[in-house]
Homo-oligomer: A and B are copies of this chain.
Amino acid sequence: MCQLLGMNCNVPTDICFSFTGFQARGGATDVHGDGWGIAFFEGAGARVFLDPRPSSQSPVAELVRNYPIHSLNVIAHIRKATQGTVSLENTHPFMRELWGRYWIFAHNGNLAGYAPELDGSFHPVGQTDSELAFCHLLQTLRSRFPGGMPMRAELREALEDFAARVRPLGPFNFLLSNGDCLFAHCSTELHFIVRQAPFAMAHLTDQDMSIDFAEVTGADDRVALVATQPLTDNETWTPLPVGRVVQFVDGAYLGVG
């Protein structure tokens, strides 16, 4: 299956350090060599970098690793294809617009026999179960909230209801953001960590590389990271609760609150 990485912060932060370890999993330290992608929100705008090549060999990944894009919400994905060919249109994360906001979605899992009825408001371009789930999810939100975007808590509930319907079909770990906060659904495997003062040294699991966050962060900075597997080997990552949709806001873990 795939690897997910998400970041939510209270000040625009670059993801270069974490991405360095994550990138290695795309064909170097791990087998997820069927493409990768990363999306950065900057204000209401979003930049999505996609490459159907393994991230460990991708010039676009090199750019992302070396060019510090500062963002409050980031979602990245490394693909191990289960459904759909290895091609650009099947590369996560996916982006659509709803209610005048961009929505970014990435999925780790495999949904068997998933065939929701689509009304045409959102239609997959590629062949993955993941993009289909994303289109179905947005359609569901749109029809549940015809008046426009609801408050965060209502959105979380709607996402949890949706996830409960899809979860029986197979692993359905996903990350979703509209640039305001980061939602995460763990159906089998997702971990998180919140970094805040006092900051300490972190060491990557996938590369022999360390960073002293005390040197590169401000005293009030707070950064939440979510990943399929912990990215560092000297920090404590916490498993997300299974079957719930949790939210990260301003770098804090709000859980189901």
B96 lies within 8 A of A97 (CB): yes
Interfacial chain B residues near A98, Cβ < 8 Å: 123
Does A47 make an interface contact (CB < 8 A)? yes
Q: Which of A85-93, A166-174, A232-240, A245-253 touches B?
A: A85-93
Does A42 make an interface contact (CB < 8 A)? yes
Residues 105-164 (chain A) with a chain B CB within 8 angstroms: 120-126
Interfacial chain B residues near A96, Cβ < 8 Å: 97
Q: How far is the CA of A90 from the CA of B91 in the complex (A)?
A: 25
A45 CB contact (under 8 Å) in B44, B59, B89, B122: B89
Residues 42-78 (chain A) with a chain B CB within 8 angstroms: 42-52, 59-60, 63, 66-67
Measured between C-beta atoms, what is the minimum distance from A179 to chain B in Å? 9
A63 CB contact (under 8 Å) in B44, B46, B59, B95: B59
B125 lies within 8 A of A89 (CB): no
Does A100 make an interface contact (CB < 8 A)? yes
Does A101 make an interface contact (CB < 8 A)? yes
Q: Report whether over half of chain A's contact residues are helix, strand or loop; otherwise say mixed.
A: mixed
Q: How far is the CA of A224 from the CA of B100 in the complex (A)?
A: 34
Question: Can you name the residue of chain B whose Cβ is closest to the Cβ of A91?
Answer: B45
B126 lies within 8 A of A99 (CB): no
Known contacts A59-B63, A59-B67, A96-B97: A88-B46 contact under CB 8 Å: yes
B125 lies within 8 A of A45 (CB): yes
B121 lies within 8 A of A121 (CB): yes
Does A102 make an interface contact (CB < 8 A)? yes
Chain A residues within CB distance 8 Å of chain B: 42-52, 59-60, 63, 66-67, 87-91, 95-102, 120-126
Q: List 20 A-B contacts (CB under 8 A).
A: A42-B52, A43-B88, A44-B87, A45-B50, A45-B88, A45-B89, A45-B125, A45-B126, A46-B88, A46-B89, A47-B50, A47-B88, A48-B48, A59-B66, A60-B63, A95-B95, A96-B97, A99-B123, A100-B124, A102-B125
